[in-house]
Chains A and B, each alone.
Chain A
Amino acid sequence: MCLKFVVIVLISFSTTAFSSNVEYDGWVNINLQHSLTFSDKPVFTDRGNVTIQSLRTGTAVVQQKPLTQSDRVKLRDLSATNEFYQLKSTVTLADGSEISFLSTVKACMLVESELNDILSVSLDYSGRVIAITLAVASTSTCEGAVVPIDKLKEFSTSVFVRHTENGPTPDTATYIQKLEREREAKERGDVKDNRSFLAKYWMYIIPVIILMVITSATNPEGAGAAR
């Protein structure tokens, strides 16, 4: 069930990722840190690194450490109390500057998906990262499925680079063409129709005839009754 949806997500994410033709390219390094204890002052520990080698194509290399046993327990506890799992991603740009983004998912969803998560890297029109969001593909928040702790070992993260597409523009070209075509059709349509009356209106005449025949056939004694 869940897997199926992941596939859908993959498709939908990827189509948006590669559909736009962008005029920039570059690489981005994202350092991921997560907090497995939910408090109002979260302590972030290292989770891994994501390097997007080309923003244009969105190819990314994901390096993530497997979770330690204690981390797994922490994550499971987090899930059991229906708390949030927080991710802090620090982007190192090509010029060395750093921007950090925060993202939160429900821990139980992460656990139920067996650490299958999606990292959505949103870019603005010039290719600057504006948001990094962690998401888990699921149709509902938490189903309450029990996941064995052994399955909470490796993150399998899919990274999607999401470009800002070009906004729509009024489609004047096709409209002008349409007008042109209509004008031409009108010019052509002015040629006189020389067909005969029957040829033109046969489709109206035939039903009338059929109607007459049928009424007389179904009521053959009509004339007799009048007698």
Chain B
Amino acid sequence: MVMHKMTFAMNKHLLIFNLIFVTYLKVVSSENSIEEDNDTQGRYLIEGKVFPADHPFTPPNWQASTQLHVNGGEYIGFVKEDGSFIVHNIPSGSYILEVLHPEFSYEQVRVEINSKGKFRARKVNHIQTSAVVQVPYPLKLKPLGKTRYFQIREQWRITDFLFNPMILMMFLPLLLIMILPKMLNDPETKREMEQIGSLTKFEMPEVSDYVTNFLAGTSQTQHAKKNAKNKKRQ
């Protein structure tokens, strides 16, 4: 989830980065007769450019550690000094191209080559295969951000400790016990409190009274009778 946040930050950087960076140059070296021959045989090449992370984060020798995998390594491309790449010998079809770098993550791209050799690149959407969000071809691949492999260790902070519900539960009552009596020492507040107390005070009928009365009533009459008898004997 922090990834997404990171992504936005990186994108901002990259915008500036892009302005400085030389605009994309098409690679010429591959334009030769063989390739043209191959085209007629239905072999195409996917080309584009990989951008490294923004300047302070650019890993040294990133070109050597970056690879391009088409369809999970069926075809492989390597990155040249300037970041450009070509994946060779691809027959027409639909492919997923991913940039592999151990430290940075890139978005996957789906590249479709029709039988006439027309290219279309779009965002990978496995769920809605019909939804097409096109991306420019030749590809320009920018890092989404540094790949976060690790969890960040929680650090002990006093605020965490204090706002812990357990601590709150223990200390708040303590505070109340300590402070409330002090407040009550003030005679005026005492009186106010009493008033409030008398307001809420109302007579509750005592059940025990009723029961005692009820039971005692009968027993008392008996008692009385006994007494009476005793008296008579006397």
Contact = CB atoms under 8 A, between A and B. Distances in A.
Interface of A: 170, 172, 175-176, 212-213, 216-217, 220, 222-223, 226
Secondary structure call for the A interface: helix
8 contacts: A170-B127, A175-B127, A220-B201, A220-B204, A223-B194, A223-B198, A223-B201, A226-B194
A218 to B, nearest CB: 9
A157 to B, nearest CB: 48
B29 interface: no
Chain A CB within 10 Å — which of B193, B198, B200 has the most? B200
Interface residues of B: mostly helix, strand, loop or mixed? Answer: helix
Contacts of B127: 170, 172, 175-176
Contacts of A170: 127
Interface string B170-207: 00000000000000100000100110011011101000
Given A172-B128, A217-B204, A226-B190, 11 more contacts: A170-B127, A172-B127, A176-B127, A212-B200, A213-B200, A216-B200, A220-B201, A223-B193, A223-B197, A223-B198, A226-B193
A176 B129 CA distance: 12
Contact of B184 (A172, A213, A220, A226): A226
A217 B206 CA distance: 12
A222 B197 contact: yes
Q: Which of B184, B193, B201, B202 has the most CB of A within 10 A?
A: B201
A216 B202 CA distance: 9
B184 A176 contact: no
Contacts of A223: 193-194, 197-198, 201
Nearest to B196: A223
A216 B201 contact: yes
Contacts of B190: 226
A226 B198 CA distance: 12
A203 to B, nearest CB: 22
Interface string B30-43: 00000000000000
A55 to B, nearest CB: 34
Contacts of B202: 220
A49 B13 CA distance: 78
Contacts of A212: 200
Contacts of B193: 223, 226
Nearest to A213: B200
A127 B197 CA distance: 87
Contacts of A216: 197, 200-201
A172 B129 CA distance: 10
Nearest to A217: B204
- Which 5 residue pairs spanning A and B have beta carbons closest together? A223-B197, A216-B200, A172-B127, A220-B201, A223-B194
A140 B21 CA distance: 75
Nearest to B203: A220
A211 to B, nearest CB: 13
Contacts of B200: 212-213, 216
Interface string B193-226: 1100110111010000000000000000000000
Interface in B26-73: none
A140 to B, nearest CB: 48
A213 B127 CA distance: 57
Contacts of A222: 197
A74 to B, nearest CB: 59
Given A216-B200, A220-B204, A176 B128 contact: yes
B181 to A, nearest CB: 10
A172 B130 CA distance: 12
A217 B200 CA distance: 8
